[in-house]
């Protein structure tokens, strides 16, 4: 199977999309709706760093898209389209097909059109998924709006296994528009992501209760990555969405400082550049 | 230098952008202008496949962006923003900085805002650049509009060395809006890209004259890739832009068939999946 045949197969399985022009030209054409801001995010998934070949190809494809969709959820957006760059070793047309089967299944479920991509060869599997989402003008959730007195929540138990499928919290993100004062997705661990939210907001945090996933540990819930839950803040008397857990309060203090049960909690989550997983 | 410090350095060198929100949150926020369609394209650049370490880091960064800008040019678009995914081995913060120096220089010159990115580690250097461009509604150039009788042009001599800097033909693409019946960029070689344009348009082509770059050969001009000139068609009596070369005519025939001096020219350009460079 050559590149053209493979792309044709992916194109036909992508189905009908709301794009003006989909896969097959130099660019895809997308017509934005009036009154919307667009959100852009991109995430890499690299064999050996973010996954191993023990992960089935369909699950790898789904996961590659889900990680970027989680960023769209964290901004309160609805996904509109994605582009997918994929490099694989040797003659792995079947692996690529199954990767796209998994990716496109999640894309259809979430209304994300496949707008284009790029296929190449490499020694290890490498992929990069860019997602463009939309939000009513001025209503995107950001990480810099938390204020002292705000209550801090997470959308689920933390420290989950990275081998489970990711369920991007898109519906919750939409529901938090106009309600949450700040929001971020938990991709690199609670301690690091809460530190980032507080640093951006120029505030500090006191947390005292963290919901731990079954068969996990408090250590993993505090510092493990790849949870893909939302971490968000509500004004002091804001009504939390069902299923969310209050973990603490935003306080005055050194920007980015986080205390857990009164003791400093260092940001020990995953830094992609200084540490290996 | 850790990921945060490195990103902070890249962010500060990105300068002011027209984005509502740039690097630093889960997504960037972009507000589209009324009456515009948006174009999306993504291109990978992989060490060993598309470049070697003999290419200076600045040149690699410029080239990575230029390849995607060339796709925007081929659709008649103006670039608005890009996202950059980059994976590099070991502790190569200096290389990354110089890569972004080159990339951002071209980004500024072409009005492309750096909207976000992702840094990771890998054994070989890998990057993927997504560019979003804009075009007045309905005015994007496509590869499927060539009709028998149309004249075929290229925007410059072909067969150039891949080590030269790429100059994406953005101004020409804009000038061709409403004039060209079809357009594609020459990234994989004239024989393959003209075949693609003809196949999409349901037509054939007769070419009889190909401008060859100095110190190059006709063989390279016909089949070599990485020229990044535009290949476009004009109606029979259309006035060609200055500096473009007429190479032939669109004719009735098997969709995608190309003749050179009356003999079939097989599409022998670069197929990223079946062949290595």
pLDDT in tens, B166-191: 899 999 999 999 999 999 999 989 99
Q: Which of B6, B124, B133 sits opposite A123 (nearest CB)?
A: B124
Whether the CB of B137 is below 8 Å from some CB of chain A: the reply is: yes
Give yes or no for residue A136 having a pLDDT over 70.
Answer: yes
Indicate if B168 and B126 belong to the same structural domain: no
Question: What is the predicted pLDDT for the residue at B224?
Answer: 87
Asked if residue A192 belongs to a domain, the reply is yes
Domain span including residue A103 = 3-136
Indicate if A113 and A34 belong to the same structural domain: yes
Q: How far apart are CA B9 and CA B13, in angstroms?
A: 6
CA dist list (Å): A257 to A200, A230, B52 = 11, 19, 43
Phi, psi of A224 (to 5 degrees): -70, 155
Give yes or no for residue B212 having a pLDDT over 70.
Answer: yes
**Mean pLDDT, rounded, of chain B:** 91
Asked if residue A146 belongs to a domain, the reply is no
Are residues B42 and A87, on separate chains, in Cβ contact within 8 Å? no
Quick one: which of B133, B137, B111 has its CA closest to B37? B137
Best of B10, B24, B34, B42 to disrupt the A interface by mutation (most A CBs within 10 Å)? B42
CA dihedral defined by A133, B184, B76, B160, rounded to 10 degrees? 110
Asked if residue B142 belongs to a domain, the reply is no
Indicate if A127 and A183 belong to the same structural domain: no
Average pLDDT of the segment spanning A174-194: 96
Q: How far apart are CA B38 and CA B32, in angstroms?
A: 8
∠ CA A120-A122-A125, rounded to 5° = 95
User: What does pTM read for this prediction?
Assistant: 0.93
Question: What is the predicted pLDDT for the residue at B1?
Answer: 64
Residues of A in contact with B117 (CB under 8 A): 42
Average pLDDT of the segment spanning A245-265: 97
Question: What is the predicted pLDDT for the residue at B269?
Answer: 66
Rounded to a whole number of angstroms, the distance from the CA of A28 to the nearest CA of chain B is: 5
Asked if residue A274 belongs to a domain, the reply is no
Give yes or no for residue A276 having a pLDDT over 80.
Answer: no
Indicate if B231 and B113 belong to the same structural domain: no
Indicate if A201 and A169 belong to the same structural domain: yes
Asked if residue B18 belongs to a domain, the reply is yes
Are residues B85 and A144, on separate chains, in Cβ contact within 8 Å? no
Asked if residue A106 belongs to a domain, the reply is yes
Indicate if B104 and B178 belong to the same structural domain: no
Average pLDDT of the segment spanning A93-122: 94
Residues of B in contact with A37 (CB under 8 A): 20, 29-31
Question: What is the predicted pLDDT for the residue at B276?
Answer: 38
Asked if residue A275 belongs to a domain, the reply is no
Whether the CB of B71 is below 8 Å from some CB of chain A: the reply is: yes
Whether the CB of A123 is below 8 Å from some CB of chain B: the reply is: yes
Last residue of a domain, one of A136, A162, A185: A136
**Do B52 and B125 touch, CB atoms closer than 8 A?**
no
pLDDT in tens, A5-38: 777 778 777 777 778 888 888 999 999 999 999 9
Indicate if B89 and B132 belong to the same structural domain: yes
Indicate if A181 and A205 belong to the same structural domain: yes
Last residue of a domain, one of A136, A160, A192: A136
Question: What is the predicted pLDDT for the residue at A85?
Answer: 96
Q: Where residue B21 falls among pLDDT bands split at 50, 70, 90?
A: confident
CA dist list (Å): A148 to A7, A151, A176, B237, B252 = 52, 9, 19, 69, 72
Average pLDDT of the segment spanning A63-82: 97
Indicate if A156 and A35 belong to the same structural domain: no
CATH number at residue A49: 3.30.1330.10
Number of domains composing chain A: 2
Give yes or no for residue A273 having a pLDDT over 70.
Answer: no
Query: Tokens 């410090």 label which residue?
Result: B5
Quick one: which of B10, B81, B11 has its CA closest to B41? B81
Asked if residue B144 belongs to a domain, the reply is no
Cβ atoms within 10 Å, residue A215: 9
CATH number at residue A196: 3.90.650.10
CA dist list (Å): B164 to B113, B232, B276 = 24, 23, 21
Give yes or no for residue B271 having a pLDDT over 60.
Answer: no
Question: What is the predicted pLDDT for the residue at B270?
Answer: 60
Residues of B in contact with A270 (CB under 8 A): none
pLDDT in tens, A138-162: 999 999 999 999 999 999 999 987 7
Give yes or no for residue A95 having a pLDDT over 50.
Answer: yes
Question: What is the predicted pLDDT for the residue at B277?
Answer: 33
Task: Provide the ipTM.
Answer: 0.92
Q: Quick one: DSSP state of residue A253? A: S
Whether the CB of B115 is below 8 Å from some CB of chain A: the reply is: yes
- Cα four-point dihedral sign B262, B191, A10, A114: negative
Q: How far apart are CA A142 and CA A37, in angstroms?
A: 13
Q: Which of B25, B71, B87 sits opposite A143 (nearest CB)?
A: B25
Indicate if B166 and B256 belong to the same structural domain: yes
Indicate if B65 and B173 belong to the same structural domain: no
Indicate if A16 and A125 belong to the same structural domain: yes
Last residue of a domain, one of B86, B109, B136: B136
In A228-247, the residues whose Cβ lies within 8 Å of chain B are none
């Amino acid at each position: 199977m050559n590149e053209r045949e493979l792309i044709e197969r992916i194109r036909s399985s992508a189905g009908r999309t709301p794009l003006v022009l989909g896969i097959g030209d130099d660019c895809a054409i997308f017509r934005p709706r009036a009154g919307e801001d667009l959100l852009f995010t991109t995430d890499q998934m690299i064999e050996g760093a973010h996954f191993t070949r023990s992960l089935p190809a369909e699950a790898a494809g789904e996961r590659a898209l889900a990680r970027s969709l989680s960023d769209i959820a964290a901004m309160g957006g609805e996904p509109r389209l994605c582009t997918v760059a994929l490099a694989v070793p040797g003659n792995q047309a079947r692996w690529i097909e199954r990767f796209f089967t998994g990716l496109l299944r999640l894309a259809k479920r979430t209304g994300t059109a496949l707008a284009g991509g790029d296929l190449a060869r490499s020694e290890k599997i490498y992929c990069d998924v860019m997602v463009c989402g939309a939000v009513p003008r001025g209503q995107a959730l950001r990480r810099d709006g938390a204020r002292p007195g705000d209550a801090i929540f997470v959308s689920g138990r933390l420290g989950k296994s990275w081998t489970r499928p990711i369920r991007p919290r898109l519906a919750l993100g939409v529901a938090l528009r106009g309600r949450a004062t700040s929001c971020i997705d938990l991709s690199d661990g609670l301690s690091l992501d809460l530190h980032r939210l507080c640093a951006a907001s120029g505030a500090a945090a006191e947390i005292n209760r963290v919901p731990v996933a079954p068969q996990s540990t408090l250590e993993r819930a505090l510092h493990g990555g790849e949870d893909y839950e939302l971490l968000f803040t509500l004004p002091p008397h804001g009504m939390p969405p069902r299923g969310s857990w209050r973990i603490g309060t935003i306080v005055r203090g050194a920007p980015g400082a986080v205390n857990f049960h009164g003791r400093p909690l260092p940001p020990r989550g995953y830094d992609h550049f200084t540490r290996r997983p």
